[in-house]
Structure 1
């Protein structure tokens, strides 16, 4: 039969100290009894679960009621006293992105901000020291975590966010080769590029050719024609007489068209290379196209010139009207013609326009005429434009310039 405990026998309440008998496990020393040092159950002082209710529940008559009235644990709330300061990177001395503060961290930081900053540095150092391997391995691991100097990655940053911010895992050799092959242009792309380059080169060459034809040939021809005119005038002033027969390309007279402000040398022959491309006007004086000279008693003095490029002396002869003056100046005389008629379009093979009495010119019989020929339309040589004139005055140079050149 089980014996009763002493407290039951004495009638003391459960949980109260008793004084009778020696202390548990003692040899009988009266100074070390339970009466002098009462037994305390864990948590009797409210150290674990929040207050004195637990102690009351562990001993005493109202233990059950105290347990039912216990409130849930609530952390003490204190005002946010100090502004939150992010921790300092102990290696780069740079601020890092901190973890979002919680209620406990705010309370601890408000109580002692300096202690929080001081305790953060060892944690970063311990994270660095935890990496196995030597210094190179630690630097590589730190660089993979966050940045060059190994700043720890933020707690809220995940591998997905890190990859989205620009960091990428190194590619294998096979993947790198595949990407390089994918970036290599296909044969169709190379062919299209080649064709495009050919078109661009052709366009540039055509632009240069047009610039040469429309601008540079005029500049060079004007310079050559001006030089030839100055040479003629110097020879005439010095008394040098030209022979009766002129060699191809040799200048012997000046053509004046006052209405068009044209003054251009006249040379023997209609060669492009020797005469026309140099900005001068050529005299038909060879073979079946040979025409008379201005001082002949009867005949047709035929001239040819460019309408576009190479000085373009005959560009605007289509603007001449009846009665406009055309003057030929030689070493001894001025020969003045008046514009009589114009033939806007004719075939290049129509050499009858150079006859002594040209058809379609309006002349009734032999006389002293002049014929100007050039290409038409502009910038083409498909047809010819013809202008005729009739001599109205032969004036020696000793009598001065004719009225057509003085006005």
Structure 2
């Protein structure tokens, strides 16, 4: 075999490998985002349709006089009934103003690979939304829409807004994101380990991968439930006012 043939064959092989690498990068950076955006929109549409049907089926408000109900103590947050979520199905919406005005993602039950390709996953077995305990969520930092790309920007006091179609829940971030290893499952305990919380409460844990394009570690953000508000009183903007 001549040197020229060897060089030509090697060059063609390099071109082929380079083309495959480019295609892979396009798939990771672009196509998974397109798929995730479409899947997330489908889940959001499912939720909104479900909530609209629920509202339509609700009985009309009574016109009879209703005796006044004593107001809750200042700062008190009513305890919701524990919810039963359907595996792999959406049940709530998540908004984090720190990540931008248009940032919204559906929350689905479980954290399996297929679920996280459609939105944010709820760790099965952790508390329900607004319930006493730890409502724990996971999302991709990169690929599949990059939902938690800006995770390191979270700061104490930031609002994390969630709704189940009837109630708005505002959680407040308590500390900057904490870095740990994937095997540190105590971060989603009812009282999250190493969180600084010293007793039972109504907590939120957000988790994502670290570094940005790797998965050797996890970034964790913890928050406490600050307030609730019926959806009839307005959306996120009204809730933050």
**TM-score normalised by the shorter chain: which range applies?**
0.7 to 0.9
Tell me, yes or no, if structure 1 residue 283 matches structure 2 residue 117.
Answer: no
Given candidates 306, 310, 313, the residue that maps to 2:144 is 310
* 1:342 aligned counterpart, secondary structure: coil
2:94 — aligned with what?
A: 255
Q: CA deviation at 1:231?
A: 2.1
**Superimposed CA distance per residue, residues 197-245 of structure 1 (whole angstroms, 9 cap, x where no aligned partner):** 111101110011001100111112112102211221122122179xx53
Q: CA deviation at 1:405?
A: 4.8
2:106 — aligned with what?
A: 265
* 2:45 aligned counterpart, secondary structure: helix
* 1:387 aligned counterpart, secondary structure: strand
- For normalisation by structure 2, the TM-score amounts to 0.83
**Superimposed CA distance per residue, residues 26-80 of structure 1 (whole angstroms, 9 cap, x where no aligned partner):** xxxxxxxxxxxxxxxxxxxxxxxxxxxxxxxxxxxxxxxxxxxxxxxxxxxxxxx
Q: CA deviation at 1:394?
A: 1.8
Q: CA deviation at 1:344?
A: 3.6
Q: CA deviation at 1:312?
A: 1.1
RMSD: 2.0
2:216 — aligned with what?
A: 382
Structure 1 gap ranges (5+): 1-185
1:154 — aligned with what?
A: none
Tell me, yes or no, if structure 1 residue 221 matches structure 2 residue 36.
Answer: yes
Q: CA deviation at 1:398?
A: 3.1
Contact kept? 2:130, 2:225, Cα under 8 Å: no
Q: CA deviation at 1:192?
A: 2.3
Contact kept? 1:318, 1:344, Cα under 8 Å: no
Q: CA deviation at 1:359?
A: 2.3
- For residues 340 and 305 of structure 1, what CA distance do their matches in structure 2 show? 19
* 1:375 aligned counterpart, secondary structure: strand
- For residues 88 and 17 of structure 2, what CA distance do their matches in structure 1 show? 36
1:319 — aligned with what?
A: 153
- For normalisation by structure 1, the TM-score amounts to 0.50
* 2:17 aligned counterpart, secondary structure: helix
Please tell me whether Structure 1 or Structure 2 has the larger radius of gyration of its CA atoms: 1
Q: Alpha carbons of 1:405 and 1:190: their partners in 2 closer, same or farther (altered >3 Å)?
A: farther
2:128 — aligned with what?
A: 293
Higher share in strand? 2
- For residues 214 and 23 of structure 2, what CA distance do their matches in structure 1 show? 19
2:53 — aligned with what?
A: 238
Structure 2 gap ranges (5+): 58-82
- For residues 189 and 208 of structure 2, what CA distance do their matches in structure 1 show? 17
- For residues 402 and 197 of structure 1, what CA distance do their matches in structure 2 show? 56
